[in-house]
Chains A and B, each alone.
Chain A
């Protein structure tokens, strides 16, 4: 479990975090999303004990982060761009790490073999990292983070720079880790990935928490279903928008490229009401139903500053 309260952090005159709150439940995958410069990486680095907070409180599995050594035994970190010792092989990096964690030699050998297999690096494990692709380096970083079987994983943009095949494998590995009871914090720009992986999210902006909840609950607040309506006469769109806004079942109405987008909570009961109201107001050319995405939720809360 991760619990961070009122975190502040400045780098010179730049305030990176201005009272950030974050709560990640044990055994869940939590997404940390926000525009560029919102403080996502700073938060991950604080939780990794790489940088110190100016004020605020962080507890990792009820241990204060100030007790660095105890906290670091519990966490595994995959940075956005993993920098590895290029003159070593993945296996020798893992051997070095096993020693840092004080693992007995025999046990380490088995664990190294297992993590290499888990990240599918068997063929390249003894080659110099210098010749690895970005995806392979990311897999080495994940192997290093998993080697000591940490309870908590901190993944900073784990999918960036990966090709679709490796992304899929990575997602599966992360979901497997959740099944194993790991607590995982994912910071990622790719909201589609976060939506697929995470149970809950924290949206941050300008170093502050904007909203924190499960994705399901945020959907309910935003509206879980969207109906897109195309009308024959564009001049009736503004009137239609205000008409639909007045309906109780509608959570949000907007216009986008000649379509009126209406968000509702329940497809069975709310869609007929919306279509009925719209057809009474104007001639409908086309209507289609879409699901509210995390991007919609994000744009609602982060005000369209997604970088």
Chain B
């Protein structure tokens, strides 16, 4: 057992060391910058308990039935902002609007949190997709595989090492969430609700990172070279982001008919990011959706591991 643990830690640290390189640090800096701007944007709004009157929505030509909550809130925000901006502009004063806190939370979920989850997914899928494919391509994988380390353990150690590079980003997201909730929303929401939101964002960040990292590991196992593995991971993530964007603007598809919109909604739910949005927005489905993602993540992780254990490796 001593042999095993020493080797496991060596592989984890070796992979982590490789993962945290110049390119990853650039990703951290870029992410910090975008995330900070989006958080600051949310912080700069003025929130209140007041509700915006629904008739404003009647200005929209289409029905807002599907994906009601995010788009309704988003529409309310736009209406309120522009009405306020127009009024202010006509009177020669800066725009001033007090948003209902629910809208603030929605915007917080579909802007900084979606940015954070997408960035975490991108980093984890890229690093994990590179881990085994990189060594297979450079033919250095044999070093690991002729050692007494079991292949399954080597695979999991590489996974832990690669996913470890996402920890600083998760910490940053959590710190940002604590700050924005405390600074902007706490006066208007219950303490329990604030705590629940913080925890849910943290859990969603971890689970989504795990899922995309598992997909990355799977791709790394079945792909012969690093570039293809990373590109495939990138394409999967792009498709997921597009599906989630479609989900946010789902009411627009109501124009095409109820059944079309319903089908599109089901398709958009393939994206883990959509599930994250629904789970964070509604709350009731949170546990269920996180478990689904965790299950799919485990499926990818163990499928990749089984393939890797039985795979022929060249030197």
Contact = CB atoms under 8 A, between A and B. Distances in A.
B151 interface: yes
A96 B314 CA distance: 21
A164 interface: no
A97 B151 CA distance: 15
B238 interface: no
Contacts of A93: 143
A285 interface: no
B194 to A, nearest CB: 45
Given A50-B315, A102-B4, A102-B148, 4 more contacts: A50-B312, A72-B147, A84-B143, A97-B143
Contact of A77 (B6, B9, B146): B146
A281 to B, nearest CB: 56
B308 to A, nearest CB: 12
A48 B10 contact: no
B93 interface: no
A99 B146 CA distance: 13
Interface stretch (B65-73, B134-142, B168-176, B208-216): B134-142
B7 A83 contact: no
B44 interface: no
A102 B146 contact: no
B46 interface: no
A83 B140 contact: yes
B144 to A, nearest CB: 7
Interface residues of A, number: 31
B142 A48 contact: yes
A156 B142 CA distance: 13
In order of increasing CB-CB distance, the 7 nearest A-B pairs are A102-B3, A99-B10, A51-B312, A100-B147, A83-B139, A79-B315, A100-B7
Interface of B: 2-7, 9-11, 14, 138-140, 142-151, 310, 312-315
A144 interface: yes
A39 to B, nearest CB: 14
Contacts of B148: 69-70, 72-73, 100-102
Given A68-B151, A83-B140, A99-B7, A45 B314 contact: yes
Nearest to A93: B143
Contacts of B10: 96, 99-100
A217 to B, nearest CB: 32
Contacts of A85: 140
Contacts of B14: 96
A68 B150 contact: yes
A50 B7 contact: no
Nearest to B147: A100
A79 B312 CA distance: 15
A70 B149 CA distance: 10
Contact of A100 (B140, B149, B313): B149
A155 interface: no
B315 A69 contact: no
A79 B10 CA distance: 23
A302 interface: no
A83 B146 contact: no
Contacts of B138: 83
A75 interface: yes
Contacts of A103: 6
A307 to B, nearest CB: 19
B147 A50 contact: no
A51 B313 contact: yes
Nearest to A11: B312
Contact of A84 (B7, B140, B314): B140
B2 A49 contact: no
B140 A102 contact: no
A77 B7 contact: no
A102 B313 contact: no
Nearest to A80: B315
A45 B138 CA distance: 17
Nearest to B137: A83
B36 to A, nearest CB: 33
Contacts of B140: 83-85
A75 B148 CA distance: 10
B147 A97 contact: yes
Contacts of B6: 99-100, 102-103
Find the residue from B9, B145, B148 having the highest chain A CB count within 10 A.
Answer: B148
Given A68-B151, A83-B138, A99-B10, A50 B145 contact: yes
